[in-house]
Structure 1
Amino acid sequence: MSRRNCLKLLAAAPLLSASWSALAAVTLDPAKDYSVLSPAQAGGSNGQIEVLEFFSYGCPHCAAFDPKLSQWRAAQGKDVVFQRVPVSFGRREWGALGRLYLTLRALGLADKLDSKVFDAVHKSYLKLEDEAVRNDWLGKQGVDVKKFNDTWRSFGIESQVKRADQMAETYKVDSVPMLVIDGKFIPRDGGVAGEDAGHNRVLVNAGELVARVRASKAMAKK
């Protein structure tokens, strides 16, 4: 799969109407349901389980995945820490959207505005990589545009952009959305047909992998 393409739509099939949370737990098949990152990365500390999502506001599949992921995140235990990492794959537009995310995060606005950014890009078709368009949209969301732009241009955000690019390389990201559980496990869709069903399956598998990591950490304490 090309690094320059986000996760492609799977073959057409009737979409699964049930939410991910209503699906029965599955026995994970390492050939289809997950892969193992090599070399493994540090993961969570102090007993926490780190969940990373590599994504882009510019990816329509990330936009479709976002509401399900938000529901999944809300159902996780307090030991699960979540972090998003924007990916550009060298695209100028995605690079700007990644910087948008990092700036919103630095201002404490990412969780509030994530879904609105996805809607602006994929429903209103706004070119938020364009500064004038972005400033107009941010102002309508009640964001202090000057403060936003000062943060956007800061050394701290530049460093975070470089760090995100480095992480995408280290974690061998070749498509988005992509989850990584505690620096080691990458949940997959099990080969099911249909994007909606595939997203559900990824999150079921992610939950199983979180449980596996949790059990492993508990055993390590004994």
Structure 2
Amino acid sequence: MPPPSTPNNKEMKMKLLHKLIAVLLLLVATQVQADVVAGRDYKVMSPAQPTSSGSKVEVLEFFFYGCSHCYYLHGPLSAWEKKMPKDVNLQFVPVIFRDTWEPMARTFYALEALGEREKLHNDLFEAWNVFNTDLSDEQKITAFVAKRGVDAQKFGAAYNSFSLAGKVARSNQLVRSYAIRGTPTIAVDGKYIITGLEPADTVRVLNEVIEIARKERRAGKR
């Protein structure tokens, strides 16, 4: 039996070329899929809303601690926050779609005022979405945060302060201005709305939309 034939150089080059073409086509397809599209990946508000971030690109996350989708986004968004570009300002906006949600909005702002927000942010998400902890009123919330090292008296003072009431009112105003209908929703620079995506896609689109907003600022369109 004759030995099996081996491909000549021309055949090998053609096979290699075909493989390279396939790889290039895959890369192109991936890039096309990765490009963000208005109306599909994000919405454009008209008119745009005013921002409070000065020279930085403003990012608002509208959320509720008891929202499971907010909980799933929390991890990826927290990781993103740690590496956030210096020209970006991230603000969290606790929404109050019903009266029973107000205690958690007050909790967020009280902890923020005490410099404890970052420390307990994850604990509050897990309390609602993992452990089903009852945090329905100030007394239960105070006991919860006190067990985690927050001074109960200072927390109570912040929770019931006049300045905090103003922040709650601003949160409600932002929800109305942006016509927020669900959480989590992210608003970029008063103009671009990201909602309804998987967590990884949300962060990917967020980065792309920030770049769009950044270019608009450089062009003097903001």
Give TM-score scaled by structure 2 length.
Answer: 0.80
Give the distance between the partners of 1:69 and 1:45, measured in 2 at CA.
19
Deviation at 1:44, TM superposition (A): 5.3
Residue 72, structure 1, aligned to residue 80, structure 2: yes
Query: SS where residue 128 of structure 1 aligns?
Result: coil
The 3 A distance-change label for structure 1 pair 188 and 131 is: closer
Query: SS where residue 77 of structure 2 aligns?
Result: helix
Q: Which residue identity does 1:201 align to in structure 2?
A: D
Gaps of 5+ in 2: 1-29
Give the distance between the partners of 2:84 and 2:152, measured in 1 at CA.
34
The answer as to whether partners of 2:53 and 2:89 remain within 8 angstroms in 1 is: no
Residue 34, structure 1, aligned to residue 42, structure 2: yes
Q: State the Cα deviation string for residues 42-74 of structure 1 (Å, max 9, x = none).
A: 235442100000001121111111001111222
2:161 corresponds in structure 1 to 154
Q: Which residue identity does 1:152 align to in structure 2?
A: Y
Give the distance between the partners of 2:165 and 2:175, measured in 1 at CA.
16
Query: SS where residue 53 of structure 1 aligns?
Result: strand
2:26 corresponds in structure 1 to none
Bigger fraction of residues in helix: 2
2:179 corresponds in structure 1 to 172
The 3 A distance-change label for structure 1 pair 188 and 121 is: closer
Query: SS where residue 61 of structure 2 aligns?
Result: strand
Q: Which residue identity does 1:126 align to in structure 2?
A: T
1:84 corresponds in structure 2 to 92
1:183 corresponds in structure 2 to 190
1:98 corresponds in structure 2 to 105
Give the distance between the partners of 2:37 and 2:65, measured in 1 at CA.
30
The answer as to whether partners of 1:55 and 1:85 remain within 8 angstroms in 2 is: yes
**Superposition RMSD in Å:** 1.9
Give the aligned length: 191
The answer as to whether partners of 1:57 and 1:97 remain within 8 angstroms in 2 is: yes
**Higher relative contact order by CA 8 Å / sep ≥ 6: 1 or 2?**
1
2:24 corresponds in structure 1 to none
Residue 126, structure 1, aligned to residue 133, structure 2: yes
2:114 corresponds in structure 1 to 107
Q: Which residue identity does 1:215 align to in structure 2?
A: K
Q: State the Cα deviation string for residues 130-162 of structure 1 (Å, max 9, x = none).
A: 233212211110110011011111111111111
Give the distance between the partners of 2:219 and 2:194, measured in 1 at CA.
22
Gaps of 5+ in 1: 1-22, 191-197
State the identity %: 34
The answer as to whether partners of 1:187 and 1:203 remain within 8 angstroms in 2 is: no
Give the distance between the partners of 1:138 and 1:202, measured in 2 at CA.
30
The runs of at least 4 aligned residues of structure 1 exceeding 4 Å deviation read none
